[in-house]
Amino acid sequence: MKKVLKWLGIAGLCLLLILYVGVQAFQIYFNRNKTEVAVSYVMSSSATTKGLAIRDAQVLRASQEGYFNYSLTDGSKVSGGELISEVYASESDSALVSKVRALQKELDMLKESSTLSTSVTDPSALGTQIGKTIAQMEGEFQSGSYAKSADYKNQLLAQISRRQAATGQAVDYTAQMSALQGQIDSLNGQLGGKVSYEYAPASGYFSSAVDGYEEVLTPQALEGMTAAQVQDILDGKSQPAAVEGNPLGKLVKDFDWYVACVLPDEKLRWVKEGATLYVEFLGAYNEEVPVVVERITSGEGGKSLVVLRCDYITKDLVNLRIQNIRLSNKQLSGLRVPARALRVENGVKGVYVKDGGTVRFKQVNVLVEEGDYLLVEQVATPEETVKNEETGEETTVRYLELYDEVFVEGKDLYDGKYL
């Protein structure tokens, strides 16, 4: 009898063990509360399209016809009453003045170099400066830009002169300065009379380029434009009228300017009003320029008008009108979780995670959504105590952490539930 009871006990224990293993196996293989691990991730989105630059600009018209010799470079900030250009009767006179100015700059540099002290400046540091200037010059020439050739020449001359002075070497530029002064006097003798001087009517940023859109594409006009109208301009279907008078250039009156583009609606999941994005003007300016999404207006055919505001002006950007651009939100880093895991509890966004044998609700700050996944902020302090100022009650707020097991699917989940 004892043997029978013993065997029955063993059989019961085995049955319980089998039942336990079966329950565990069922939970493992058939549990509907599926989880996915939160991992570190870097996400970026971009779109390439055409952009239309729009500025608050005033066309400047010369009082008389002639050939302009500008005293300013494009993108320069000017004050009201500042000289913009001299206007000459002939193209040859204008060219002669440009030559005289280049020679005068070189002469001034030699005069300065001939009076340098021999007791200051580290020669080795100056040698490093010379090397950097040569490298910059080579970079410009390799990119096909030779506009700064004379500037680099004068800069190198000054740096070499300083280095020679610092090493105690006597430098005599008397003969060179005399020759340059002779050339300047000769060229000045060939000049005819000036026609007029042109001055800036107000403060702003100068540009010598005029395309006829200045008085048509204004920030005020942009407010009423549709995606279709902007697209027609980008496609060349709409052309501006010819500029009348004697256009000297334009004065951009406001530091803020705009870029209008048309994007497919599926791109708008990461293009939001008020967001800071980055624009690269392809082939014109290779650096990324920060912009703010000013406005998004829905259009036809699944496309929308996106207006970007920019407050960055350079000589390369001030003349742009229609340009291929790459718009991006740069790279954002954070934690990657499935979009379907997101829950809203009491107005707070978060996800449920597996914390040992307990379910925990952890808050998330969504940075961007891409397809079926979210990129959420990875906070430095994953848990903090918050005190209610009215009741004095303290509550623990938890945030999603790296490698948390996030519930993707599940029923009846709540904070503190035992699994």
C-alpha angle 175-172-170 in degrees, rounded to nearest 5: 165
Bigger pLDDT: 147 or 297? 297
Across-strand partners of 277? 291
Alpha-helical runs (H) found in 191-300? 219-222, 227-234
Whether 30 shows a pLDDT value over 60: the answer reads no
Taking the CA of residue 71 as centre, how many other CA atoms within 13 Å lie in the half-sphere pointing to its CB? Answer: 11
State residue 291's pLDDT score: 96
* pLDDT reported for residue 118: 47
pTM: 0.57
pLDDT of residue 170: 57
In the prediction, which pLDDT does 45 show? 82
More confident residue, 371 or 276: 276
Q: How far apart, in whole angstroms, are the C-alpha atoms of residue 21 and residue 193?
A: 105
Which residue, 51, 50, 61, is CA-closest to 210? 61
Q: What is the pLDDT of residues 176-197, one digit of tens each?
A: 888 888 888 877 777 776 678 8
Nearest to residue 150, comparing CAs of 103, 195, 219?
Answer: 103
Q: How many CB atoms lie within 10 A of CB 142?
A: 8
